Chains A and B, each alone.
Chain A
Amino acid sequence: MSPSTAALLAGLVLLFPLAGSALCGLIGPVLGRRFVNLAGTLSIGAAFAVTLVIFAQVLGAASGHQSTTATLWNWLDLGPGNLNVSVDVTIDQLSVLMLLVITGVGLLIHVYSVGYMEHDPGVARFFSYMNFFIFSMVLLVLAANMIILIIGWAAVALSSYLLIGFWYERESAVLAARKAMITQVIGDVALVIAAILIFVNLKSVPQICIPPPGEVCALQLQSSQHLFTLSLPQIFANASSLGAGSALITLICILLAVGAFAKSAQFPLHTWLPDAMEGPTPVSALIHAATMVTAGVYLIARFHPLFDLAPIASGMVACVGMGTAVMAGFIALSQVDIKRVIAYSTMSQIGLMIFAVGIGAYAAGMYQFLLHAFFKALLFLAAGNVIHAVHDEQDIREMGGLDSRMRVTAWCFLVGSLALAGFLFAGMFSKEDLLGFGLINGPGAPALYIVGIVVNVLTGLYAFRLYGTAFRGEPRSDAARNAHESKAVMLWPVVILAGLSALAGWILQWPIAFGPHLIDAFLNPVFTSPGSGPIAKAPSLGLGVIGFVIGVTCSLIGIAIALRIWVRRDLDPSRVLARPGLRLLPRLSFNKLYFDEIYDALLVRPTRALARGLRRVGDPVMDSWIKGVSGVATDFSSAFRTIQTGLIRDYASYMVLFVVIFTVAVMLAAGLAK
C-alpha cells in the first residue's frame, strides 16, 4: 500500500465516525430520531466498509510490506531539536485487527442501540457520543505518534465519561462517570510522563555499516545523537538506545503499564469498571468489547519493542494481569447485578490478555482480544435484552425461568457463557492458547499457568452461575414471569455475535484446536523484528496438547459444579463455606474485597480532611489580602462617587473649572518657556 492510499483510507476511517458524531450532535436534535438512527449507524457502517478495504490491502500486500506509515498533515513544528508532531497513521496487521473489531463489533452494537434507545429522549446525544467513542478509539489505534496516541487515549476517556454519565439525572451515574474519569486521568498522567522520558532520552542507534567487498561505506559509523522525537516508528527503531534492561526503560515501561492498567481496569486501578455499568447497556458492550478496556492491551502490544527490553516491567505486567484475573473471577462469583457479573468477567478476561502480552505472547493476547470482543459484546447485548424484558431489573435474584420466555436470547446467552467459560466455543481456543504460552514463559513459569487454571475453574463457575440463576429455574418475580422476547433489531446483532462466538475460533484454528492459529501467522510479522524469533517461545506440540486438555477439563469442572449448584440444586455450597477457614470468603467476594472502602479510607477521606483543614487555614490568609486590595479600590471609588450628582449644572461647572485651570496652566507654561 502506498503512503497516499494509506493516508486516504485512514483519513476516511477517522472521518466517518467524527462526521456521524457531529451530524447527530448538531442537527440530530432538530431532524429527529429517524435521522439520528440512520446517521449514527451508517457512519460506523461506512467506517467498517473502509476497514474491510484496508484489511484486503494489508492481506494482499507482499510479505514484509504490510506495514505502512503515512502522514496526514504536520500539526506542530517547533524546529529541529524540539518537538515536532505530525499526524501520522500506521496501518499494519495489528492496527487492522483492532480496526476490524472496533468498527465491526461497534457497528453491531450501534444497530442494537437503535432498538435499545427507542424510547429515550436523548437519542441524538447518545449516538453523537457513541460515534465519538469509535472515532477516539480509531485515532488511538492508528496513531503513529505518541502525542496523537495520547490525544486518542484521552478522547476515549472523555467519551467513556460522557456515556457512563449519560443518564445524568441519576446521581449514581454521575458519580460513576467521575470515578472513571479520575482513574483514567491517573493513567493519562503516567503515559505523559513516559512520553516525556522517551522524548528526553531517546538517542539514535549507530548504524554499523559493513561495506560490500571492494567498496567503501558512504556513511561511516554515525555517532549517536538525541533524536527529540515522539514518532512511534522512530522510538521503536531506536529503542535499544534507552538501554536494554536499564532502570530507565523499566521505569518507562512501568509508566506505560500504569496507563494500560487504568484503561483496561487492572489492579489497582480497576474499581471504575463495575461502576461504569451505570451507563446504558450498549455502552457497556462498547466499552468492554470493542473499545476502551482493550486499549491497554493494545498499548502494551504496540510498545512491544520497549517491553521486550524491560523484562522486569513485563514480568510485573504478567503478574498483575493474572492477579486481576483471579481476583475479578472471585468477585464475580457473588455479584447479583447481571451487568456487574459480566463486568467482572471482562476484568478477568482482560487480565488474561494483559498476562499474555506481559509474557511476550502478543499474538495470543490479541487472539483472546478478538474472540473476547465477540462473546463479550454478545453477553452484554443479550443481558440488555433481558433487562429490557424484565423492565429495567438488573438483579439476577429477581429473574429466573427466562429460557422458555426468551428462547433466542437464552440460546445466544448460553453460547456466550460457553465461549466465556472456554468450552467448545471462542474462549476455548484463545484462553488455552495463551495459557499454553504461560507453561514455559513468564516469571516463575509455570507458576502463573497454575493460577490460570484456577481462573478457568472460576470462569466456568461464575459464567454458569449467571446463566443458571437468570435463565433456568422458576421465575422469581412478576416481571420475569411476564418477560417476552425483544424486537428483531435487538435480536439480530445478538444472533450474529453468537454465530461469530461459536464459529470464529473453529475457523481461525482449523484444522487443530491447539497450537498455531491464523491470527498468530497474521500478527507475528509485527511482533518479530527481522532476524529474531518471537519473544515468547511457543510450547511444543505435546506440551500444547497436555495444556489444552488440562485447561478445558478445568473449565468443565467449573461448569459442572456451577450446574449442580445453581441449576440442579443438588449441591449446597453453604455447608462447605461454613467451615471456619472459609467463612470469610463469601463476604469478601460480595463486597468486592472491600476495594472501594479501602480506597475511601486511604485516599478519599485523607484528601477531604486535608482540603477541609486547608480551607480553615486558607480562608483567613488568602481572603485577608484579597479583601484588603479590593477594599482600597472600593474606598478610592466611593470618594469619587459623591461628585456624580447627575445634575447638568454640576457637570458644566466642572467643565468650566477645568477649562479655566487648563487655560491658565497653558498660559503659565508659555510664559515660563519664554
Chain B
Amino acid sequence: MTLSQAMFPWLLLTAAFLFTLGALGVLIRRNPLVVFMCIELMLNAVNLALVGYSSYLNSEEGQVFAFMVIVVAAAEVVVGLGLLTRVFSIGRELDVDDLDELKQ
C-alpha cells in the first residue's frame, strides 16, 4: 500500500500529536506506571513517523529502524518494570515525586 502525497503531512501531524501527548504525560503524571506508558506512546509516535517516511520515500530503512525501536522499547520496559517492583517491594510509595534520591 502506498501513501498518497496529500495524506503524508496529516500522518506526520498525528505522530507529532502523539509524541507531544506522551511527553506531556511524562512531565505531568505522578504514577510511574503511567509515565512508562507515556514513554511507550512517544516511542510509538516515532515509529509511526519512521514507517510513514519509509513509505513516502519508498525505502525500507525506516521500517528496519522501527523494529529497532520496538526492541529497545521492550528492553526498556523490562528494566523499568523491574525497578518499579523493587521500589514497591521495599515499601516505597509509587510516586515519582517521592523518589528524589538522584540529587544525592
Which B residues are CB-close (under 8 A) to A651?
102
A647 touches B23 (CB 8 A): no
* Cα A656 to Cα B26 with chains together (Å): 11
CB distance from B39 to the nearest CB of A (A): 10
* Cα A651 to Cα B26 with chains together (Å): 11
Which A residues are CB-close (under 8 A) to B101?
646
B97 touches A649 (CB 8 A): yes
A652 touches B26 (CB 8 A): yes
Which A residues are CB-close (under 8 A) to B26?
649, 652
B27 within 8 A of A: yes
* Cα A653 to Cα B104 with chains together (Å): 19
Q: A634-654: contact bitstring with B at CB < 8 Å (1 yes, 0 no)?
A: 000000000011111101110
* Cα A311 to Cα B101 with chains together (Å): 81
Which A residues are CB-close (under 8 A) to B104?
646
CB distance from A656 to the nearest CB of B (A): 6
* Cα A230 to Cα B23 with chains together (Å): 76
The chain B residue with its CB closest to the CB of A647 is: B100
Which A residues are CB-close (under 8 A) to B99?
647-648
Q: B45-87: contact bitstring with A at CB < 8 Å (1 yes, 0 no)?
A: 0000000000000000000000000000000000000000000
Which B residues are CB-close (under 8 A) to A646?
100-104
Give which listed residue, A645, A649, A653, A656, contacts B103 with CB less than 8 A: A645
User: Which residues A57-87 have CB closer than 8 A to chain B?
Assistant: none
User: Which residues B2-50 have CB closer than 8 A to chain A?
Assistant: 23, 26-27, 35
Which B residues are CB-close (under 8 A) to A648?
35, 96, 99, 102
Which B residues are CB-close (under 8 A) to A649?
26-27, 96-97
CB distance from A659 to the nearest CB of B (A): 9
* Cα A653 to Cα B101 with chains together (Å): 18
CB distance from A649 to the nearest CB of B (A): 6
CB distance from A83 to the nearest CB of B (A): 55
State whether A652 and B102 are in contact (beta carbons under 8 Å apart), knowing that A647-B96, A647-B97 are contacts in the complex: no
A652 touches B27 (CB 8 A): yes
Which A residues are CB-close (under 8 A) to B97?
647, 649
Scoring B23, B35, B99, B104 by chain A CB atoms within 10 A of each residue's CB, the highest score goes to: B23
B100 touches A645 (CB 8 A): yes
The chain B residue with its CB closest to the CB of A643 is: B103
* Cα A651 to Cα B103 with chains together (Å): 11
The chain B residue with its CB closest to the CB of A659 is: B23
A644 touches B103 (CB 8 A): yes
* Cα A646 to Cα B27 with chains together (Å): 14
* Cα A651 to Cα B97 with chains together (Å): 12
The chain A residue with its CB closest to the CB of B100 is: A646
- Total count of chain B residues near the partner, CB < 8 A: 12
* Cα A653 to Cα B100 with chains together (Å): 15
B27 touches A653 (CB 8 A): yes
* Cα A490 to Cα B71 with chains together (Å): 82
Give which listed residue, A644, A645, A656, contacts B27 with CB less than 8 A: A656
Which B residues are CB-close (under 8 A) to A647?
96-97, 99-100, 102
* Cα A653 to Cα B25 with chains together (Å): 11
The chain B residue with its CB closest to the CB of A648 is: B96
* Cα A645 to Cα B102 with chains together (Å): 8
The chain A residue with its CB closest to the CB of B102 is: A646
The chain A residue with its CB closest to the CB of B28 is: A649
* Cα A644 to Cα B103 with chains together (Å): 6
The chain A residue with its CB closest to the CB of B23 is: A656
Q: A109-128: contact bitstring with B at CB < 8 Å (1 yes, 0 no)?
A: 00000000000000000000
* Cα A644 to Cα B100 with chains together (Å): 10
Which B residues are CB-close (under 8 A) to A644?
102-103
* Cα A647 to Cα B99 with chains together (Å): 7
Which A residues are CB-close (under 8 A) to B103?
644-646
The chain A residue with its CB closest to the CB of B26 is: A652
CB distance from A155 to the nearest CB of B (A): 51
CB distance from B69 to the nearest CB of A (A): 17
Which A residues are CB-close (under 8 A) to B35?
648
CB distance from A617 to the nearest CB of B (A): 43
CB distance from B7 to the nearest CB of A (A): 24
CB distance from B80 to the nearest CB of A (A): 11
* Cα A653 to Cα B26 with chains together (Å): 9
CB distance from B29 to the nearest CB of A (A): 9
Which B residues are CB-close (under 8 A) to A653?
27
Which A residues are CB-close (under 8 A) to B102?
644, 646-648, 651
Which B residues are CB-close (under 8 A) to A656?
23, 27
Which A residues are CB-close (under 8 A) to B100?
645-647
The chain B residue with its CB closest to the CB of A653 is: B27
Which B residues are CB-close (under 8 A) to A645?
100, 103
* Cα A653 to Cα B24 with chains together (Å): 9
* Cα A645 to Cα B99 with chains together (Å): 10
* Cα A657 to Cα B35 with chains together (Å): 18
CB distance from B35 to the nearest CB of A (A): 8
* Cα A649 to Cα B95 with chains together (Å): 11
* Cα A644 to Cα B97 with chains together (Å): 13
CB distance from B99 to the nearest CB of A (A): 7
User: Which residues A606-647 have CB closer than 8 A to chain B?
Assistant: 644-647
* Cα A644 to Cα B27 with chains together (Å): 16
* Cα A648 to Cα B26 with chains together (Å): 9
* Cα A578 to Cα B23 with chains together (Å): 106
* Cα A649 to Cα B97 with chains together (Å): 8
The chain B residue with its CB closest to the CB of A656 is: B23
CB distance from A487 to the nearest CB of B (A): 65
Q: A359-389: contact bitstring with B at CB < 8 Å (1 yes, 0 no)?
A: 0000000000000000000000000000000
CB distance from B34 to the nearest CB of A (A): 12
* Cα A647 to Cα B97 with chains together (Å): 6
* Cα A512 to Cα B103 with chains together (Å): 93
Which B residues are CB-close (under 8 A) to A652?
26-27
* Cα A646 to Cα B101 with chains together (Å): 6
The chain B residue with its CB closest to the CB of A646 is: B103
* Cα A651 to Cα B99 with chains together (Å): 13
Which A residues are CB-close (under 8 A) to B27?
649, 652-653, 656
CB distance from B74 to the nearest CB of A (A): 21
* Cα A644 to Cα B101 with chains together (Å): 11
The chain A residue with its CB closest to the CB of B98 is: A647
* Cα A649 to Cα B99 with chains together (Å): 10
* Cα A466 to Cα B26 with chains together (Å): 94
* Cα A569 to Cα B35 with chains together (Å): 106
* Cα A277 to Cα B23 with chains together (Å): 81
* Cα A415 to Cα B23 with chains together (Å): 101
26 sampled A-B residue pairs with Cβ under 8 A: A644-B102, A644-B103, A645-B100, A645-B103, A646-B100, A646-B101, A646-B102, A646-B103, A646-B104, A647-B96, A647-B99, A647-B100, A647-B102, A648-B35, A648-B96, A648-B99, A648-B102, A649-B26, A649-B27, A649-B96, A651-B102, A652-B26, A652-B27, A653-B27, A656-B23, A656-B27
What are the 3 closest A-B residue pairs judged by CB atoms, nearest first? Answer: A646-B103, A646-B100, A646-B102
| Given A646-B103, A648-B35, 11 other A-B residues pairs in contact with their CB atoms under 8 A | A644-B102, A644-B103, A646-B100, A646-B101, A647-B99, A647-B100, A648-B102, A649-B96, A652-B26, A653-B27, A656-B23
